[in-house]
Amino acid sequence: MENHSLEELKSLIEEEIYLIPEDREAILASLDSAPDTRTESPKPPVQSSDAAAAAPSPAPKAPPAPVEELVPEPIPVKGNFSKGVLILHEEASLREDLMEMLVKMINACGHSMAEIGLLPAKDLEGRSMEEFKALNAHTILKFGRVNHPINAVQARPYEVHAERETEYLFADSLTAISENVALKKKLWTSLQVLFNLT
């Protein structure tokens, strides 16, 4: 039984097992003192007769407890995010001029920066769609390229796309929009549809 993996043991035990702190500490201590049998075959220890007489007999090994699944840290969102409006942006950090443009845009839509959440693309890397959905955003504005499964959402650039209770608007990066008047107008038209301003 000691040679079985945790995955094999999970299939045998269907109920959840809970450990009290004392048991957990004892098991962790026994695991730390146990030799690592995954890389090499166990070798019998060589002891002198004096060391064998002085050493206490080893305690019986407790069966290994299932390892608790680590719950990932929630995705960090900057801002209050009280209205469920989330802005994903390609830029690692927003320059002052981009932030000023974003503030004007959000204010023109009837919101304040205190109500929305900002999330740089780098903070989404390696995160699952389930983790993203746990943010519970109702309106998502994605600016630029984001390396995340959210790209699978069938939203066309500058068109509002609704999926269940969430509305999406995908656009070019904030940097590109700030440098192009035509893109600013295109974005403003889309924002008016998204926030029912017309």
Residue 188 lies in a domain: yes
In a domain, 89, yes or no: yes
Rounded to whole angstroms, the Cα distance separating 198 from 195 reads 9
Beta bridge partners of 139: 85, 167
Domain annotation covers residue 184 = yes
In a domain, 154, yes or no: yes
Closest CA to 132 of 117, 110, 145: 117
In a domain, 32, yes or no: no
pLDDT of residue 69: 64
What is the reported pLDDT for 39? 47
Q: What is the CATH number of the domain that holds 182?
A: 3.40.50.10220
pTM recorded for the entire structure: 0.62
Which domain does 114 fall in, by range? Answer: 85-194
CB 120, CB 93: distance < 8 Å:
yes
Domain count, the chain: 1
For residue 51, being part of any structural domain is answered with: no
Per-residue pLDDT of the chain (198 residues), as tens digits, is 455 555 665 666 566 666 576 766 776 776 666 555 444 545 555 554 454 445 555 556 666 666 566 667 888 888 888 889 999 999 988 899 999 999 999 999 999 888 899 999 888 888 888 888 888 899 999 999 888 888 788 889 999 999 888 999 999 999 999 999 999 999 999 999 999 887
pLDDT of residue 154: 83
Strand ranges inside the chain, DSSP E:
85-89, 116-120, 139-143, 160-163, 166-171
Spatial CB neighbours of 56, under 8 Å, sequence gap ≥ 6:
none
In a domain, 9, yes or no: no
Q: What is the CA angle 89-121-119, rounded to 5?
A: 65
pLDDT (0 to 100) of residue 170: 93
Residue 79 pLDDT = 86
Residue 93 inside a domain? The answer is yes
The pLDDT value given to residue 187: 94
Task: Supply the pLDDT for residue 36.
Answer: 53
